[in-house]
Amino acid sequence: MKKIFFLLLIFVFLFQFASFAVENEDFRFIVFGDSRVALPSSSTPLIFKRIIEESSLINPDFVMHTGDVVWGYGDSDEELKVEYNNVKEDLKNLIPKLYCVPGNHDLQGVLGSKLFSDTFNQKDPYFSFGYKRATFIVLNTELPSYEGQIGPDQLKWLEAQLEQAKGGRSVFVFMHRPLFSNVPVNTFEAISIVEQNFSSETNRKEVIDMLARYKVNAVFAGHEHLYYKEDESFQLGTEEAFNVPFYTLGGAGVPLQTTPDKGGFYHYLLVNVKGDKIDYELIQPGGLFVEQSSYKEAGKTVAEAIINNNITADYINRPVIVLEGLKFTLPGGDYKVESSPLISKERLIPLLQKIGVIDEGVSLEVVTAQFDLLFESIAKAEITKVFPHPTDPTRVDVYVKASAPALIPVKVVVKQI
């Protein structure tokens, strides 16, 4: 059995790292929500800044926020302006484009709605967009007179969007209030799913039925300050039953509503779309580290980055995260990049044998051959783009694509040519 696990490890490792040669149709996006401050005039939660940092390192095609970026309730106009300005400042450090779902804290009063629209350059209260033959639908559960609902006009619009997306690659739906609740009943906010999230049970079921009828791939929400996944099974007529995951992703900085074993931990979700396969990777921030340094060698600039991926010790299912936002700010010039693991095969193989990942009965020649391929793959890195530095004309920003294998530190070296 261990031998099977080991071979599976190698296969998955190599397969995941194939994203270096990913087809143009493959893409990734990150989802998180509820990053607001705990009270008016509070400073930005440090965990949100960390999520921004890690999202930029991973640098997916784009990021989706499921709402509640400010406190909003009872804010003076000045407090509201300060909070939205702080959000703008924080998001300046985010490399990929961000789309934001409107949350109940975000749209307080006319000013709140205007600041939200201006901050995210989103003029429509709800909208959709297409990307690589996939459809992304952003709903609004906070419209006046329809708080906690998807009102009739929006529901009609939603059905038109779903109808238009039929035959496409995939459909992802985003909203602030979740359709399924997991807030423990003893918390101060939890009353019932109708009062806590949707103000109409009839409307809630109508939305769920519509999403199921069009077989959406996944639904993402926030509002509840925790992580929760509800896998709902549906069957249409005599067709084969299918599952739709409903995610609640409300842990990007707000005070949490429950204990870690019930989803009360900070998190974000990395979604990988490869061909017709969709993988959802839950990540707790704080496990991805990059240390950079630079120096001169024979008059040329050399920059190094040490990458440590301690997000997981799961070699089998989650061996590699590919970073596409590794940035080096360097003097102007031409550069090349190389990358290598900081632990040798000769040291790693006995360690994995000792902890039982590799069966000691497996031929050392077979193991070594597999790790030759493994290290060849994880050592790959490439410079993807070079931009002039925005404030210093003598410097450039060099972006590198590199792998972050689970628990195996990697050194990336960028050398001036």
Tens digit of pLDDT for each residue in 86-100? Answer: 999 999 999 999 999
**CA geometry: angle 335, 341, 344, nearest 5 deg:** 140
For residues 290-318, average pLDDT: 86
Quote the CA–CA distance of 353 and 332 in Å, as a whole number.
46
Mean pLDDT of the chain: 89
- The pLDDT of residue 195 is above 60: no
Instruction: Give the fold, CATH level 3, of 288-416.
Output: Immunoglobulin-like (2.60.40)
Q: How confident is the model at residue 6 (pLDDT cuts 50, 70, 90)?
A: very low
Position 54 scores a pLDDT of: 97
- The pLDDT of residue 20 is above 70: no
Position 56 scores a pLDDT of: 97
Position 194 scores a pLDDT of: 43
- Per-residue exposure over 293-318, b if at least 16 CB sit within 10 Å of its own CB, e if not: eeeeeeeebbbebebbbebbeebeeb
- The pLDDT of residue 76 is above 70: yes
Closest CA to 220 of 203, 245, 193: 245
Q: How confident is the model at residue 196 (pLDDT cuts 50, 70, 90)?
A: low
Least confident of 234-248, 285-299, 308-322, 338-352: 308-322
- Which token pair is 304? 């190094």
Position 115 scores a pLDDT of: 97
Position 415 scores a pLDDT of: 98
The boundaries of every CATH 3.60.21.10 domain in the chain are 24-274
pLDDT of 142-191, one tens digit each? 999 999 999 999 999 999 999 999 999 999 999 999 999 887 665 545 44
Closest CA to 292 of 53, 38, 2, 33: 53
Q: How confident is the model at residue 317 (pLDDT cuts 50, 70, 90)?
A: low
For residues 98-106, average pLDDT: 97
- Of all residues in the chain, the percent with pLDDT exceeding 90 is 72
Quote the CA–CA distance of 124 and 157 in Å, as a whole number.
13
For residues 370-384, average pLDDT: 80
**CA geometry: angle 279, 281, 282, nearest 5 deg:** 150
CATH class in words for 24-274: alpha beta
Give the start-end residues of each E strand in 190-299.
218-221, 227-234, 242-249, 268-274, 277-283, 288-297
